[in-house]
Amino acid sequence: MGKVAPLKRHRELGLAALIVFVTLVVSSFDLGFLATGNLRDMMVRCAPTAIVACGMMLVIVTAEIDISVGSLMALTAAAMGIMLSEQHWNLSLWIGVPATLLLGAGVGLTTGLLVTVGKVPSIIVTLGLLTALRGATTLIMQGRNIGGLPTSLTRAAKEGYGGVPIGVWVACSVLLMTYVIIAWTPIGRRVFAVGSSRYAAAMCGLSERRMKLFAFCYTGFLTALATLVEVPRLPKIESGIGLEFELLVVTCVVVGGVSITGGRGTLLGVILAVILMTMIRPVLTFLEIGEQAEKWTNAIQGMFIAVAVIGDSLLRPPNRGGSSA
Amino acid sequence: MSRLRGSNFGAWHELVLLGLLVGLLCVAGYLMPGFLSLRSQLFLSRHLWEFAILALGMTLIIVAGGIDLSVGSAMGLCAVAFGMTFQATEQIWLAIFACGLTGLFGGLLNGALITRFKLHPLIVTLATYAAYRGIAEGISQGQSYSRFGDAFSQLARATWWLIPIPGYLFVGLAITTALVLARSTIGRQIYAIGHNSEAARFSGVAVERLRLGLYAFSGLLAGLATVIYVSRFDTAKADAGKGFELDVITAVVVGGTSIYGGRGTVMGTVIGLLLIHETRLFVGRYWRVDELKSVVVGLLLIVSVLVYQAFMRRATGSRH
């Protein structure tokens, strides 16, 4: 543990330095980058990714993966729309919101059960759900977009409280909650224990199954929560919501220094990576290199992952992982 | 032999899949007369060949314990390389060559990152998944290239004895890959790496070189699949092959290849491909609801592995 700690700090320092550097460069071109309006926009953009990344981090720390969150976002968005829209069931917020959250948690729990009880590898389960949930979404939306969400919901998502949209508040609370879980509760320590060595954890009497169920269920719940704060900002609900969202979230978690083989990672790293990844597009816009630049967003995102993991590999002490020539 | 995790199980799994496929075809033929006619089957299989070719490389990679998420994006990059070369030189052969070379290079880069820096294949190919598509979008700036001449567009469309040309290409590749995997030393070594790469290394298998080769092969196949794709649409654009990686992995896994490596056959993959293809066709044409297809295929993937795991556990006591 002591050997790994400085490495972790390297990662967070590196990310923070990169964010500061990019911010300085861009604001020297155009001070508008630091204007309150723009900063607020960027925080709003970060919010859904940050919320789901908290859950994904726990899943990856237990050495599993969940690539179905994008499709789950679409499914919960469609369910939310049908329940709350005045053109459909027009239910009260007090029923619709908990039901949406329950749906997300339920799908997460199902994933967890298939992984732990069914012994199906998580990448297979969530690959299947990635396809199936997207199909289910288009089925229940019947090719039509859903509009007419209650104004209280859309107003909270767009304007929010104290000038800050509700998504940012929710993201902050989720980060705080996840931090508390990881740092101060036994659950957090058990999640890391299961991820670093399942056999050692089992010998200590920890239930691998329960920890993984918790991580998947939490991720499903957070995905539904992200949907609730993000989707009402959009003009209408389409079936394409959340396409490739899972890849963005996994990217952020990996760039944030969470080991894909489990047991290692910090929340701070993940948050910094989320900020860095969401900055790419606004930065390209602000640099005013023209339309051309935005087409490179994907390439830059890929480069960040490559640099992050290669850096890890070069900094890795020789006795960890690189045991062979 | 018995160490290669239950070759009996492999055969058993293939038989079950084959049984499912035959059952599905019988039901489909009974419910929809004309579904089984050779002509309609061949007509409906036009887009199958690109997937099928990619699935061969993916089978080898997954058997060796790896994964390649970047094949679809590599196709985008290959398509752009194809289009730009053709625009610059007007030579179709040069364009095909550039396309293959780009694929090969993309695969080599994946393999080099994985073996040189000892990185997890999932992460490396997630990075190149974003990067290849991004580079393709960046250098082509969303432009699409077309009009490659009639002769070239016939490549994917022309038939010889009822079967389209890409079909022969696939059958040739599939037989070669199957022979290499099942009958050659390299094939044995691939299973050994997937089963336990440390043990394979100590037994004198050139693990890193072989893995590098597998990713390069997968990249080369992506280039080849792009040539067929471009020929079929007569258009080369950065969005070629979008989402292919997931369909290909689904087919390989339904075909009985273990995502942990060490188990799987080319025959299984071919049957998995056909099973998914026919399921899609049947569901799409019988209920006439396109969205239902992805629900059924997604559930098919989960259930096939779930059932397999349940049987494995019963047969071997407690197998992870």
By residue count, chain A amounts to: 325
Cβ distance B309 to A119 less than 8 Å, yes or no, reads yes
Cα–Cα distances in angstroms (integers) from residue A184 to residues A174, A177, A267, B136, in the given order:
15, 10, 13, 46
Q: How confident is the model at residue A34 (pLDDT cuts 50, 70, 90)?
A: confident
Instruction: Give the tens place of pLDDT for each residue, B110-153.
Output: 999 999 988 889 889 989 998 999 999 989 888 889 888 888 88
A310/B113 touch (CB, cutoff 8 Å), yes or no: yes
- pLDDT confidence of A101, banded at 50, 70, 90? very high
Q: Report pTM.
A: 0.89
Tell me which chain A residues have a C-beta less than 8 angstroms from the C-beta of B118: 313, 321-322
Tokens read off for A126: 């969530």
Cα-Cα-Cα-Cα torsion A10, A13, A15, A19, nearest 10 degrees, comes to -160
Mean pLDDT of B248-265: 91
> Three-state SS for B252?
helix
CA distances for B225 relative to A39, A130, B218, B241, B313, angstroms = 44, 24, 10, 9, 38
Closest-CA distance, A161 to chain B, in angstroms, reads 36
Tell whether B123 is within 8 A of chain A (Cβ). Answer: yes
In this predicted structure, what is the pLDDT of residue A322? 36
> Are B250 and A306 an interchain contact pair (Cβ–Cβ within 8 Å)?
no
Q: Please indicate whether, in this complex, the C-beta atoms of B130 and A301 are within 8 angstroms of each other.
A: yes
Query: At residue B9, does pLDDT exceed 60?
Result: no
Task: Calculate how close chain A gets to B300, using CA atoms only, in Å.
Answer: 8
Mean pLDDT of A5-14: 68
Q: Between helices B71-89 and B121-140, what is the axis angle to 10°?
A: 30
**β-bridge mates for residue B145, sequence order:** B236
Using the Cβ of B133 and the Cβ atoms of chain A, whether some distance falls under 8 Å is answered with yes
Say whether residue B302 is in contact with chain A using an 8 A CB cutoff: yes
Residues of chain A neighbouring B306 (CB-CB closer than 8 A): 114, 118, 120
Which pLDDT tens digit goes with each residue over A114-142? 999 999 999 999 999 999 999 999 999 88
Residue contact A298–B130, C-beta within 8 A: yes
User: What pLDDT digit, counting tens, does each position of B39-78 carry?
Assistant: 777 777 778 888 999 999 999 999 999 999 999 999 999 9
Average pLDDT rounded to a whole number, residues A277-288: 83
Whether the Cβ atoms of residue A31 and residue A38 lie closer than 8 Å to each other: no
H helical segments located in chain B? 7-31, 38-44, 48-63, 71-89, 92-116, 121-140, 150-157, 165-183, 185-195, 197-202, 207-233, 244-254, 266-286, 290-316
Pairing state between β B235-236 and B145-146: antiparallel
Residue-wise pLDDT tens digits, B80-100:
999 999 999 888 999 999 999
Distance, C-alpha B157 to centroid of its chain: 21
Mean pLDDT throughout A213-239?
A: 94
ipTM: 0.85
Give the nearest partner residue to B301 out of A127, A261, A305, using CB atoms.
A127
Cβ <8 Å between B302 and A120:
yes
Percent of chain B predicted with pLDDT > 70? 95
Q: Please tell me which residue of chain B has the smallest CA distance to A110.
A: B302
* Chain B partners within 8 Å of A144 (Cβ): none
To probe the interface with B, which of A134, A138, A258, A298 has the most B CB atoms within 10 Å? A298
